[in-house]
Amino acid sequence: MANENVSVWTSIPFWRRSAAWVTGFATMLLIWLSFDTLGQITMGTDADLKNNVTKRVPAPTVINYHIDYKMDAKRGHEIPVIGEKQPFFGKEWSEEEAAQLLHLGKLTSQAKNCMNCHTLLGNGAYFAPDLTKAWLDPAWQAGGPLQGMTGKNTVEEAMAEFLQHPSQYPTHARMMPNLGITAEEAKGLVAFLKHMSSIDTNGFPRNFSKSVETFKAGGTHAQ
Amino acid sequence: MKHSKQEALMLSSIKTNEFAGSKSKELAMMYFRVAIILFGAQLLMGLIAAIQFLVPGFLFELFDFSVARMVHINALVVWMLYAMIGSVYFMLPDETGVETVGVGLGKLAFWVLTAAVTVVVLVYIFIQVGAGTEASIWFINEGREYIEAPRWADIGIVVVVLIFYWNVFASYMKGRQTGIMTVMVADLLALAGLYLTGMFFTDNISMDQFWWWWVIHLWVEATWEVFVGTLAAYALIKIIGAKREIVEMWLWIEVLMLFGSGILGLGHHYFWIGTPEYWWEIGALFSALEPVPLVAMFVHVLYDWGKEQGIAKAEGKQGAVMNNGPAMAWIVTNAFGNFLGAGIWGFFHTLPQVNIYTHGTQFTAAHGHLAFFGAYATILIGMMYMGIQGAYGVERLKATFKSKMGIFLITFGVVGMTVALTIAGYEQVLVERAELGGGWNAFFTAQELPWYVQAQTWRAIMGVTTFVGFVYLVLDLLTIGKTAKAAQAA
């Protein structure tokens, strides 16, 4: 054993110790950062919304407000902007009602396996459009083709109608199947989509939904 | 009559177990057999999904893309877990010098797991979706990519994994404690523990995704990679007689670098899910480091092989030193595939400046296909060949025509799919994301462009190529042992 370990670089104990220290350090750092992140992504409260306190993930009652996705000069990308009060399915939802509706929507999104065609926050399958900011998609707004085809007058009613009878409203050769979504579940899903659109995703998707017309008119930053 | 003879040969091939009484290795073979069946199921489901990209009406409202894709990715995860458990039971007696402590318990866990997997798959296929209630989450599926298993199955999986872990740990404590087994025992504890972070329901999709990545990333890009390192270390000692000191030194270096980059590399999934911006820097730095240990693994395999070959040559020996040609071929493919698929294809789109456009596009699918194949499928198939060699007591297993067709067609097919999906992703990124901003209209505009459709066509063709390779692989696994044994006896 006398002539062993001529160099530390070929010493197994050295690498074993280093592996243990590096793993331990990385784990500690991850846990510490996770505590900070979990605090920042916890849902805000109804009081935050009333007092214009911005949260990365707002309270379920955000469905009572108008939501927009605007370029923020300071941060250099788009951020969700929560605006004036706006009725959702024709009414203002109390804290409890909104929470219940979001709960139903999130459960339904999992029970119907939405993520294995769509992407949510960019995660999931790539067979169907990303739903991260679907609520804000121009196609669902007044004058948009998706709202038009359902014959409804608001984004939420158009979305709910589509979700209940997707194969009646083909938007593309690749269609959404009928998943037996009830009227109540559809409302929940729309609340879930509206809530998701209010989450601060650090500017993803970038330059959200410029139409072909905008592009022809001079690109994504055309005035 | 030749046909039925072939069948009889295969059937007796499946049953043969001649491990000279090693119950642990017999148990390993049980896991390998289910793994290869699930691998086939994964490929079939992938073919259905690939066709649905080209012919949207294919099985519409009967067996939709969501179902095909869910079974595709779940079969992948489950066959790999089966093959991993099998590999551990296989190496356990060699490394520790003792048989697995609770073989009976291990067999019981095997049957419980297999029954549960069967029920889950049948529910996925025939019931598919449920109402928006907790009951659906408990009994049908959880609708969370890769970990869709309903909650009852989650709990069952935890019990089965605990039995497995107890078996490994107790055997390790009872027997020899090599460096390879020390890494294995520590790694499996982390792997089992992480599954628990994906077992709850929350209304907050950001919180949901935050913990979901603790299972998915910390499995795939940390604990699984270390697991592969231990398998490569063990296999190199067995196949080419590599020196244990050198192999174990490499293994510790790999653990250092894999955990050093992989644990905080988790940050590259936290760019856009509602989490704070500091993950941009942390994710960019550590995920950029993630290919480094893969280079080490690459060097490790090729260096050890070259070294042992050189020694053999110096001693005047002819030919290759390896005693298992097909296994060594798959392990060398692993060294290349892991570096290319996980390292290079991952690095392509890991920086936030790029990822804001590539996140959630076919780029991810391209990387996923080559990485899962290159990093995991290859070495697990290699372990299956080692299982065959042991089961038949063959001293030197040589590659047959079927072995060569299997590895060539599968690798060619997966690389072909990867290239096709990369082209599709490139087009999708430019048109859907960079130009049109990722909305509904942008998505379908990109999906209709000829380059995208062509790429998807090539993906389907390459998928079929992979499947043909899989057929060769299965035929080879079923027959190579018996043929080699007969040749050895002659």
Residue in chain B closest to A98 (alpha carbons) equals: B203
A8: confidence class by pLDDT, cuts 50, 70, 90: confident
Contacts of A174 in chain B (CB under 8 A): 52-53, 56, 444, 447
Chain A closest CA to B346's CA: distance in Å? 16
Alpha-helix runs per DSSP H in A60-178:
95-111, 145-150, 155-164
Q: Cis omega (within 30 of 0) on the bond before A205?
A: yes
A-chain residue closest to B245, CA distance: A12
Phi, psi of A130 (to 5 degrees): -65, 135
Identify which of B137, B112, B111 has the alpha carbon closest to the alpha carbon of residue B123: B137
Classify burial at B115, counting beta carbons within 10 Å of its beta carbon; exposed 0-12, middle 13-18, buried 19 or more: exposed
Contact status of A173 with chain B (Cβ, < 8 Å): yes
Asked whether the beta carbons of residue A23 and residue B57 sit closer than 8 angstroms, the reply is no
Q: Write out chain B in H/E/C secondary structure.
A: CHHHHHHHHHHHHHHCCCCCCCHHHHHHHHHHHHHHHHHHHHHHHHHHHHHHHHCCCCCCCCCCHHHHHHHHHHHHHHHHHHHHHHHHHHHHHHHHCCCCCCHHHHHHHHHHHHHHHHHHHHHHHHCCCCCCCHHHHHHCCCCCCCCCCCHHHHHHHHHHHHHHHHHHHHHHHHCCCCHHHHHHHHHHHHHHHHHHHHCCCCCCHHHHHHHHHHHHHHHHHHHHHHHHHHHHHHHHHHHHCCCHHHHHHHHHHHHHHHHHHHHHHHHHHCCCCCCCCHHHHHHHHHHHHCHHHHHHHHHHHHHHHHHHHHHHHHCCCCCCCCCEHHHHHHHHHHHHHHHHHHHHHHHHCCCHHHHHHHCCCHHHHHHHHHHHHHHHHHHHHHHHHHHHHHHHCCCCECCCHHHHHHHHHHHHHHHHHHHHHHHHHHHHHHHHHHHCCCCHHHHHHHHHCHHHHHHHHHHHHHHHHHHHHHHHHHHHHHHHHHHHHHHHHC
A93 CB neighbour count, 10 Å cutoff: 19
Q: How far apart are CA B364 and CA B357, in angstroms?
A: 11
Q: What is the pLDDT of residues B127-144, one digit of tens each?
A: 999 999 999 999 999 999
| Candidates A61, A74, A121, partner chain B, best to mutate (most B CBs within 10 A) | A121
Q: What are residue A78's phi and psi, to 5 degrees?
A: -75, 145
Best residue in B63, B181, B204, B245 for a mutation probing chain A (most A CBs within 10 Å):
B204
User: Looking up tokens 């990109």, which residue turns up?
Assistant: B446
Percent of chain A with pLDDT over 70: 92
Q: Which of A30, A115, A174 is opposite residue B263, by nearest beta carbon? A: A30
Structure tokens at A205: 């998707």
- Nearest residue to B179 (alpha-carbon basis) of B241, B293, B95: B95
The distance of A86 to chain B (nearest Cα, Å) reads 22
Q: Do A111 and B137 touch (CB under 8 A)?
A: yes
Best residue in A97, A194, A202, A211 to probe B by mutation, most B CBs within 10 Å?
A202
B440: nearest CA in chain A? A129
Please tell me the distance from the alpha carbon of residue B280 to that of residue B291, in angstroms, as a whole number: 18
Residues of B in contact with A146 (CB under 8 A): 440
Q: Cβ A116–B145 below 8 Å, yes or no?
A: yes
The amino acid occupying position B20 is: A
Alpha carbon distance B417, B374 (integer Å): 13
| 3-state secondary structure (DSSP) of residue A180 | coil
pLDDT digits over B251-273, tens only? 999 999 999 999 999 999 999 99
Cβ of B252 within 8 Å of Cβ of A212? The answer is no
- What is the predicted pLDDT for the residue at A221? 53
Q: Are B466 and B400 in contact (CB under 8 A)?
A: no
Per the CB < 8 Å rule, is B201 touching A57?
no
Mean pLDDT of B396-420: 97
Residues 6+ apart with CB under 8 A from A217: none
Residue numbers in A near B130 (CB within 8 A): 111-112
Is residue B69 classed exposed, middle or buried when 0-12, 13-18 and 19+ CB atoms within 10 A define those classes? Answer: buried
**Fold assignment, A45-217:** Cytochrome Bc1 Complex; Chain D, domain 2 (1.10.760)
Of A103-112, B355-364, B390-399, give the lowest mean pLDDT range: B390-399
pLDDT of residue B13: 62
- pLDDT of residue B147 exceeding 60: yes
Helix residue ranges per DSSP H, chain A = 12-41, 46-50, 95-111, 145-150, 155-164, 183-197, 212-216
Interchain contact, B65 vs A117, CB within 8 Å: yes
DSSP state, residue A85? E
Name the least confident of A71-75, B150-154, B225-229: A71-75
Contact B132 A117 (CB under 8 A): no
List all residues of chain A from 71 to 90 with a beta carbon under 8 Å from chain B.
Answer: none
Q: Does the beta-carbon distance from A129 to B439 stay under 8 Å? A: yes
Please check the confidence at residue B1 and state whether its pLDDT lies above 50: no
Sign of CA dihedral B332, B338, B339, B344: positive
Reported as a pLDDT band with limits 50, 70 and 90, residue A212 is low
B263 to chain A: which residues are within 8 Å by CB? 23, 26-27, 30
Domain boundaries along the sequence of chain A: 11-39, 45-217
The distance of B345 to chain A (nearest Cα, Å) reads 18
Chain B residues whose CB is inside 8 A of the A120 CB are: 205, 209
Give residue A97's pLDDT band: very low, low, confident or very high (50, 70, 90): very high
Looking at the predicted structure, is the pLDDT value of residue B300 above 50? yes
Mean pLDDT of chain B: 94
Least confident of A14-18, A86-90, B328-332, B485-489: B485-489
Share of chain B above pLDDT 70, in %: 96
The tally of CA atoms less than 13 A away on the side-chain side of residue A32 is 6
Mean pLDDT of the region B463-476: 98
B277, amino acid identity:
E
Query: Smallest Cα–Cα separation from B276: which of B210, B221, B218?
Result: B210
Cβ distance of B132 and A188 shorter than 8 Å = yes
Residue A24 has pLDDT above 60, yes or no: yes
pLDDT band, very low/low/confident/very high, at A7 (cuts 50, 70, 90): confident
CB-CB contact of B242 with B231 (8 Å): no
Nearest to B56 among A125, A173, A206 (CB): A173
**Is pLDDT above 50 for A1?**
no
The residue in chain A having the minimum alpha-carbon distance to the alpha carbon of residue B277 is A202
Give me the phi and psi of B334, to 5 degrees please.
Answer: -60, -45
Which position has the token pair 């907050």?
B204
Q: Which residue of B has its CA nearest to A218?
A: B435
B263 contacts A174? CB cut-off 8 A: no
The answer to whether the CB atoms of A205 and B437 lie below 8 A apart is yes
Task: Flag whether pLDDT at B11 surpasses 90.
Answer: no
Contacts of A134 in chain B (CB under 8 A): 440
Strands A65-72 and A77-85: antiparallel
Q: What is the pLDDT of residue A10?
A: 87
Interchain CB contact of A103 with B (< 8 Å) = yes
State the best of A9, A45, A107, A184 to mutate against chain B, taking most chain B CBs within 10 Å. Answer: A107
CB contact under 8 A, B206 and A121: yes
Report the residue from A116, A124, A209 with minimal CB separation from B437: A209
Name the residue among B252, B436, B441 with its Cβ closest to that of A15. B252
Average pLDDT, integer, range B402-421? 98
